[in-house]
Amino acid sequence: MTRWWRRVSLRAKVTGVTVFVLAVGLLITGVVTVPILQQNLLGSVRSTVQEYADSNVAERLLTPLTTASGELMFVPADNEPRTEYFVAMYNREGELIATAGGSEEAAEPAFPRRLPLDEAYIRRGSIVPLDAETGRGPGFYAATTVNTLQSESYDLPYATVVALPLADVDSFVRTYIAVFTLVAFATVIAAAFLTRGLVTLTFRRFGQVEATAMEIAAGDFSQRMTDIEPSTEIGRLKIAINTMLDRIDGAIDERDATVRQMRRFIGDASHELRTPLVSVRGYAELYRMGALQGEEATAKAMERIEAEAKRMGVLVEDLLALTRLDDRRELDIRPVDLRPIAHDAALDVRAAEPGRDVTVVDHTFEAITGAVTLPERAELEAATSAPEDGRADGPDAPRRRWAPGTAAIARASAALRRRRPAQTGEQPLVAQLDIPVQPPAKPVALPPIVRGEEDKIRQVVSNLLGNARRYSPAESPIVIEVGVDAAARTGWIAIVDHGEGVPESIRDKVFQRFWRADTSRARETGGSGLGLSIVASIVDSLSGTVQVTDTPGGGATFRVAFPLAREGSDAGATPRAQSGIAAVSPGDAVDDPEGGAPRS
């Protein structure tokens, strides 16, 4: 049954169910109304026959007389009228002595042959059924009364029975059933045709939807639903289908673009990986064949092998980073202060490129250091001129003094120390930084403490700085700005460069995976096309935003924003995240990050 029902078309189901429900409703109506109508008609007959009996209608048909012997008798009245009712007269002995009434063609009731007065008294006020004289056809309802014929010497009691036929009731009920059946049948037939027509007319638009869907299934994704009426179900269905098709088109275009970028990236990656692999294999074969003569040649070969391995490692690390971001692991969300991140990033850039000017601008009310100006190249060279046979800050060496500033100075020293080759035996680099305080133009009462994962935010800033370094001249400055958007409840950090800039036509593409502005295999600017896509993935996972705009005077400005941490939520943050950068007074001792003695 279920399988058969599933094979029936929706049009037939709607028509069949509608007609079936209507037919059942009409049938129930007929079954319920016929008994009600019949009982109402019978009640009317009972009331009428009781009224006839109480009004002594028998005297209209029969005249009571007494004989010489004192017996009661009834004679028909002159011009006896034809009536719908029948009457029967009984003397005090209960004998039937006269009947009258009715019409010639009407069946007569079977009055009882005897009706004693005591029984007549009992029947008064009650209606009793009577059968027809012939025993066939409808019966009668009869009412009984007791009357008295008064004379000068005595009174003669007698009983009167008035009967009213039920033929009219039966006839009316039969007529009602016949008419109701015909009307119900005609209604069902008309409803079937009308429902079928309306369903067909309504489903014609479903047919249009079906035809369009079949064309779409055949591969024509340019098809769209037309003649849309949003107030109807079909109209809303068409709107939903059009929306779905638009998204499918967008997804297909995005997939095709991703596939093209992936293929281009695979080609580029294959080319780039093949080149260092060939170099590594070539140097290995030269070493195996003994072609490398002397330690200097061997060292140069090992240096080239290491450089090519690092080149391959960068590409592999970028791919692994994207894979981990796709896993959507649970992040360790904590309050993070953006100011230490900005200062550390500036120190990292200056350590990597001593000749580049890097500035940190803090736009918040708690601007601890203002603009940070890192040392020039000459200062760095002077700071690295210590002798190689000992520590410059030994017992006999003059003690260095820190300039007024913050703990960022200590981190700068540590960062620069870590970048010195351990194997050279050179003195770790300790540079003195000049950090003038520059108050913000528009103070903001909120510190830039955001909700995020510090390592991820540092990676975002590092990738953006790497992008700025890659696409800007080595002598052009880079500015790192930190601020708060109080209206949006976000803290932001911006990387401002003065390089090539990002044309507006490709700003929606630079964050796509495997996309590079430089499509050549030579890739003079370097990069795997994954750095900014990693930025976008991290920012999205932290519920942040990233945007790129033009820098006044030329260049690009990348700005990332993250939701501010709620008040009181920084209680569990690290001291560094809670207080930003702790101030260091002149002469204060600062622990050596390399593990040496405190320096003053």
Q: For residues 100 and 119, state if they share a domain.
A: yes
pLDDT score for 224 = 81
Q: For residues 366 and 456, state if they share a domain.
A: yes
User: How many domains does the chain divide into?
Assistant: 4
Interval 139-165: pLDDT, tens? 888 888 888 877 666 677 888 899 988
Would you say residue 562 has pLDDT above 90?
Answer: yes
Whether 290 maps to a domain, the answer reads yes
Would you say residue 600 has pLDDT above 50?
Answer: no
Whether 40 maps to a domain, the answer reads yes
pLDDT score for 546 = 92
Quote the domain boundaries for residue 219. 1-54+166-223
Across 523-536, average pLDDT: 69
pLDDT score for 458 = 93
Q: For residues 211 and 256, state if they share a domain.
A: no
Q: How far is CA 502 from CA 461, 510, 530, in A?
A: 18, 8, 16
Q: For residues 34 and 134, state if they share a domain.
A: no
What is the maximum alpha-carbon separation in the chain? 176
Q: For residues 63 and 179, state if they share a domain.
A: no
Interval 249-276: pLDDT, tens? 888 888 887 787 677 667 666 766 776 7
Report how far residue 58's alpha carbon sits from residue 80's, in angstroms, rounded to the nearest whole number.
Answer: 11
Here the CATH number for the domain that contains residue 108 is 3.30.450
Q: For residues 484 and 355, state if they share a domain.
A: yes
Given 119, 138, 165, the domain boundary residue is: 165
Of 269-278, 541-550, 554-563, give the lowest mean pLDDT range: 269-278
* 110 Cβ contact list (under 8 Å, min separation 6): 130, 131, 132, 133, 135
Asked if 358 contacts 349 with a C-beta cutoff of 8 angstroms, the reply is yes
The confidence band for 415, taking pLDDT boundaries of 50, 70 and 90, is very low
Highest-confidence segment of 252-261, 279-288, 355-364, 569-578? 355-364
Would you say residue 319 has pLDDT above 90?
Answer: no
The confidence band for 442, taking pLDDT boundaries of 50, 70 and 90, is low
pLDDT score for 343 = 92
Q: For residues 15 and 44, state if they share a domain.
A: yes
Q: Measured in whole angstroms, how far is the alpha carbon of residue 71 from the centre of its chain? A: 101
Asked if 33 contacts 63 with a C-beta cutoff of 8 angstroms, the reply is no
SS3 463: helix
Q: Specify the pairing of strand 478-485 against strand 334-337.
A: unpaired
Q: How is residue 112 annotated by DSSP?
A: -
pLDDT score for 303 = 85
Whether 600 maps to a domain, the answer reads no
The confidence band for 204, taking pLDDT boundaries of 50, 70 and 90, is confident
Of 71-80, 164-173, 181-190, give the lowest mean pLDDT range: 71-80
Tokens of 394: 């030994």
Whether 99 maps to a domain, the answer reads yes
Of 137-146, 200-209, 349-358, 457-466, give the lowest mean pLDDT range: 200-209
The confidence band for 218, taking pLDDT boundaries of 50, 70 and 90, is confident
Would you say residue 593 has pLDDT above 60?
Answer: no
Given 119, 134, 165, the domain boundary residue is: 165
Would you say residue 293 has pLDDT above 60?
Answer: yes
The confidence band for 93, taking pLDDT boundaries of 50, 70 and 90, is confident
Q: For residues 362 and 466, state if they share a domain.
A: yes
The confidence band for 365, taking pLDDT boundaries of 50, 70 and 90, is low
Whether 356 maps to a domain, the answer reads yes
Report how far residue 350's alpha carbon sits from residue 476's, in angstroms, rounded to the nearest whole number.
Answer: 12
Higher pLDDT, 35 or 324: 35
Percent of the chain with pLDDT over 70: 70
Q: For residues 197 and 238, state if they share a domain.
A: no
Average pLDDT of the chain to the nearest whole number: 74
Q: Report the length, in residues, of the chain.
A: 600
Would you say residue 475 has pLDDT above 80?
Answer: yes
Q: At what angle do helices 531-541 and 294-326 cross, to 10 degrees?
A: 40
Whether 212 maps to a domain, the answer reads yes
Asked if 569 contacts 577 with a C-beta cutoff of 8 angstroms, the reply is no
The confidence band for 299, taking pLDDT boundaries of 50, 70 and 90, is confident
Report how far residue 173's alpha carbon sits from residue 182's, in angstroms, rounded to the nearest whole number.
Answer: 14
Would you say residue 394 has pLDDT above 60?
Answer: no
Per-residue DSSP letters for 308-350? Answer: HHHHHHHHHHHHHHHHHHHTTPPP--EEEEHHHHHHHHHHHHH
Whether 433 maps to a domain, the answer reads no
pLDDT score for 532 = 85
Q: Specify the pairing of strand 372-373 against strand 490-496.
A: unpaired
Tokens 């033929």, residue located: 167
Whether 188 maps to a domain, the answer reads yes
Highest-confidence segment of 17-21, 94-98, 376-380, 508-512? 17-21
Q: For residues 192 and 261, state if they share a domain.
A: no
pLDDT score for 438 = 43
Tokens 């003038």, residue located: 436
Here the CATH number for the domain that contains residue 365 is 3.30.565.10
Q: For residues 174 and 48, state if they share a domain.
A: yes
* E strands, 16-102, in order: 62-66, 72-76, 86-90, 96-101
Q: Specify the pairing of strand 86-90 against strand 155-165.
A: antiparallel
Tokens of 529: 């096309």
Q: How is residue 365 annotated by DSSP?
A: T
Q: For residues 240 and 317, state if they share a domain.
A: yes
